[in-house]
Each structure stands twice: as structure tokens, then as C-alpha cells.
Amino acid sequence: MKKRFRGIWWVLGVAVVASAVFTIVATTRPETSESPRATVANSESELTPAIATPLALPMNDASDFALYAPAVPLPQRLPSLLKRAEAGDRQAACYIGVMFARCGRLPAMRSAIARLETRASKTVAGSDEEKQLIAELQTAESNARDLGQSCSGTNEPNDASWKHLLAAAEAGSEPATLALATAPPLNMDQPLADIERWNQYKQDVPRLLREAASRGSVPALFLSLGIYSGQDSIAAGGGPFVPRDPALALSYALVLDAHIDNLAMRNMVRQSMDEVRAELTPAQIESARTAAEAMDSRAFPAHIRITGLGDVSATTSPESCLESR
């Protein structure tokens, strides 16, 4: 039973990650039945970042619209964005962080395109498979070209992405916190190359998620419950970075249980609740309940209802950084 719920929990984690920096359009990797981390790697296309769509968010004035207009190459907007970010504008810092994370994906996108080209060259000429691969290749090349033009002139994008996402998250940006937690701009293939930042990730990101949850972020609450109950590590981080904390997990589960209308999700949360409660003393359970009631009354009004996966997922596109959170 516990193994089954771990799988369900992973689906919820993917719901957060899948709406992160890159839109899923195509993948060149074969499907596997490997670990959850491998599943995320397969679900995030290296080929197609979410090319920004026209903003449907309230802009303060015309200068705001020009500053965040996706049609304008990032380097042309960067001085003004940096000025705002350095003045403490968390939206600008988040926007820079997510945009630079996209720019940092360009080498991987180009490698994926090369693999597609190799696959296409080995297919039967005129076959349906060749036509499909050629269509995917054309889309991927177009996206890489557009992103390359937008990112032209940016240097060390992952360094800048980390710096600004962390600053925005520390300033209370929910989208930056979720982006940092689920899709950090760090080297996952060779973590030793980024060891200092991985250590900082381990130290800061769980705290930032807890703080976001305490401010009323439902996605952060779900992620934190999965982490502290031991059901999952932070989605893209891999590894048990955070020690289990059954009392904290119970507090999060109690808050979620009060707001879930979806039967399957409620059953999943209650399964986790039962498992962590069994590890606690009556005094610890009462303390967790008191903490949950305080968090619930402070940050989660009764009208907040969780009806499906969409309520626990969160976009971390550049546009999401501009939402009032």
C-alpha cells in the first residue's frame, strides 16, 4: 500500500514540475521505468522551452509592458530589469531568473536536435516515422532559433538564474521558490561541479518552501508534505536532502485535509497522515494539530478549495513571475 501511494505522490510532484520552465512537446529519450527522477528528466523536453505568449497580466504602465514583452530580446531589456531586481523588485528578479534558466538550456536543446537529426537520417525515406521526426525537428530548430535570438549576448545564464531566483524567493516570490525547488539551474549530471550551490540548495530551499507554505502556497504545502513525510525528495533535486519530520508532515497534512474536495487526493493525504501519526506520541500529535490550526487560520481561508491536480501545480514561466503572489 505504501509503495502505491509513493507512486501517486510522485504524480503530484510531477504536476508541479511539468508546468515549470519548459513545455512538454517532444522528447528524444526512450521511455523507461526507472526512478522518479528519471521520469522527470524524460518529461521535460530538451527541445521545446515554453516560448512566451502575449502577457494577459495587469501592467502598471506602458514601460512595464515593454520591459516584459517577450518579442524584445532579453539583452535589450536586461539593464532595466537588473536595475529593478537590484532595487528589490522580486517580480523582476524572478523574471530574470526564469529567463536565464531557459537560456541555460540552449546547449541541451542543441544536443537534442543533433540526436533527432541522427534518428531521422536512419529512418526509411518517406516513411511516417521520418515525417514525424522531420516535423519534430523543424519545431525544435524553430524554438532553439527563437530562444537563441532572445538570449543573444547573455553570459553564464545559470549563474545569473541561480542568483536572481534565490533573491526573489528570499523576498517572498512563490513562483521563484517553486522554480528553485523543482527545476534549479544547477548541474544535475555532474553535481560535484556545482557542489557549493547544491549545498546551498540543501540548506535554503526546504526553508523557503516551508515559508511559502506558511504564507498560503498550496503547491509548496504539497511539496513540503511529500518531503517531510519521506514520500519524496524535492522533485528535481534528487536525493534525501531533508530529514523526515513526521510532526511537521502531520501539520501539513491536516491543513491540506481541511481544504481538499477531490476524493483521490484526500485519500492520498490521509494515507500519509495515518503513516506519520503512527510514529508520534499523543503529545506530538496534539502539538502538530495546534500548529496546523494556527497555519490554517492565518494563511488558508476557508474558501480555498483543492479540487484537482491543477490546484497543487504551479507555473514557473516568466509570465507567472508577474502574478501577484
| pLDDT 10s digits, 237-273 | 444 567 889 999 999 999 999 999 999 999 999 999 9
The 8-class DSSP code of residue 303 comes to T
pLDDT at 308: 81
Give the domain ranges of the chain. Answer: 2-114+153-322
What whole-number distance in Å separates Cα of residue 10 and Cα of residue 181?
A: 15
pLDDT digits (tens, 9 = 90+) for 84-124: 999 999 999 999 999 888 888 888 888 889 999 999 899 98
pLDDT at 182: 84
The 8-class DSSP code of residue 234 comes to -
Nearest alpha carbon to residue 246 among 290, 278, 221 = 278
Regions of the chain where pLDDT drops below 50: 1-59, 235-239, 325
What global pTM score does this model have? Answer: 0.73
pLDDT at 257: 94
pLDDT at 81: 92
Nearest alpha carbon to residue 251 among 284, 215, 292, 197 = 292
What whole-number distance in Å separates Cα of residue 259 and Cα of residue 51?
A: 34
Positive or negative: CA dihedral 22, 47, 206, 204: negative
What whole-number distance in Å separates Cα of residue 128 and Cα of residue 123?
A: 9
pLDDT at 1: 43
pLDDT at 60: 53
Q: Which residues of 254-293 are buried (b: 16+ CB within 10 A; e: fewer)?
A: bbbbebbebeebbebbebbbebbbeebeeeebeebeebbe
pLDDT at 233: 55
What whole-number distance in Å separates Cα of residue 151 and Cα of residue 157?
A: 9
pLDDT at 62: 55
